[in-house]
């Protein structure tokens, strides 16, 4: 059991929870995720870690209410407990394990779309803690959906806000904001993009033209989180990968986003899942990633 010690509404249908999980907090890193299961009958919900406090044993999750399981999670209050809070799962961001001398020589640009702002934050925070600056673009449909701006301001060198309707910050999407920065002469060594699949696709199309290495997080397509269900199967270059056991971060220029978006649509129906399993055969699932 894991207790919810804080609950906060960040934006419309977007919630933050701090959960007592000392073992997870002690070993997690930016880029990884956890699995929440409310009770024995509940579904497994994979959620990227949005922050952690090792001393207090707390892990922060951010989620959007989009279905029955996240609705049930939203209905929990401070003091309530979830039956399962498992992690950390997935691979940490590359810079966590790379030589700091190499990482410190790079200029990072983070592009966060919607709820993707949450998993971007611990990465930017980690870099600052190690003396490395980064620029961040936060994008949303409108001002009311922007969150974590204050946290990002503390961790990043520069924060740029972009809203589709122009209600706050730059009037346009994150890709247009990126192009504006490039046109103004801003230069970067690595771009990290986290958000909806279509957003990451167009970010990668832009960075391919400029030759900017781009990392994307494929957590939006995860369902089970252990490689057993086949939901997060994707093509990365000439290889089949699974976001939950091989990622969730990949070279964005190698990801087949069109295939990933098509599979996500098909996977939503029982008939679609059966079709994908029959079509993909032994490559449909990635097993547990351990055995």
> What does the pLDDT look like over 185-201, one tens digit per residue?
999 999 999 999 899 99
Percent of the chain whose predicted confidence (pLDDT) is above 90:
59
- Rounded to two decimals, the pTM is 0.87
Asked if residues 230 and 276 have their Cβ atoms less than 8 Å apart, the reply is: yes
Confidence of residue 246 (pLDDT cuts 50, 70, 90): confident
Buried b (16+ CB within 10 A) or exposed e, 111-120: bbbbbbbbbb
Q: From CA 100, how far away is CA 115, in angstroms rounded?
A: 28
Asked if residues 111 and 124 have their Cβ atoms less than 8 Å apart, the reply is: no
> What does the pLDDT look like over 166-188, one tens digit per residue?
999 999 999 999 999 999 999 99
243 has pLDDT over 70: yes
267 has pLDDT over 50: no
Domains and CATH numbers, the chain: 2-89 (2.40.30.10), 94-217 (3.40.50.80)
Confidence of residue 277 (pLDDT cuts 50, 70, 90): low
| Best CA proximity match to 120, nearest among 180, 203, 179, 186 | 203
CB 155: neighbour CB atoms within 10 A?
A: 23
Average pLDDT over residues 90-94: 90
Average pLDDT over the chain, rounded to an integer: 86
> What does the pLDDT look like over 22-49, one tens digit per residue?
999 999 999 999 989 888 877 888 888 9
CB 126: neighbour CB atoms within 10 A?
A: 20
């Amino acid at each position: 059991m894991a207790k919810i010690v804080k609950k906060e509404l960040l934006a419309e249908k977007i919630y933050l929870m701090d959960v007592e999980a000392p073992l997870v907090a002690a070993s997690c890193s930016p880029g990884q995720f956890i699995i929440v299961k409310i009770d024995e009958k509940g579904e497994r919900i994979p959620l990227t870690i949005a922050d952690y406090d090792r001393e207090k044993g707390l892990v922060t999750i951010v989620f959007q209410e989009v279905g029955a399981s996240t609705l049930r999670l939203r209905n929990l209050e401070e003091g309530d407990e979830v039956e399962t809070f498992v992690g950390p799962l997935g691979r940490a961001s590359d810079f966590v394990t790379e030589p700091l001398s190499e990482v410190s020589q790079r200029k990072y640009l983070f592009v966060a779309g919607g709820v993707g702002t949450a998993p971007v934050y611990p990465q930017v925070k980690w870099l600052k803690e190690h003396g490395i600056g980064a620029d961040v673009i936060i994008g949303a449909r409108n001002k009311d959906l922007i969150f974590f701006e204050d946290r990002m301001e503390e961790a990043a060198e520069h924060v740029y806000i972009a809203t589709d309707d122009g209600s706050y910050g730059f009037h346009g999407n994150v890709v247009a904001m990126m192009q504006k920065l490039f046109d103004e002469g801003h230069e970067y060594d690595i771009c990290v993009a986290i958000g909806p699949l279509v957003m990451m696709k167009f970010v990668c199309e832009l960075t391919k033209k400029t030759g900017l290495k781009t990392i994307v997080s494929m957590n939006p397509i995860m369902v089970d989180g252990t490689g057993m269900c086949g939901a997060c199967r994707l093509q990365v270059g000439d290889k089949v990968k699974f976001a939950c056991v091989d990622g969730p971060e990949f070279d964005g220029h190698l990801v087949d986003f069109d295939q990933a978006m098509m599979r996500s649509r098909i996977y939503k129906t029982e008939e679609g899942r059966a079709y994908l399993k029959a079509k993909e055969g032994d490559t449909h699932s990635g097993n547990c990633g351990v055995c």
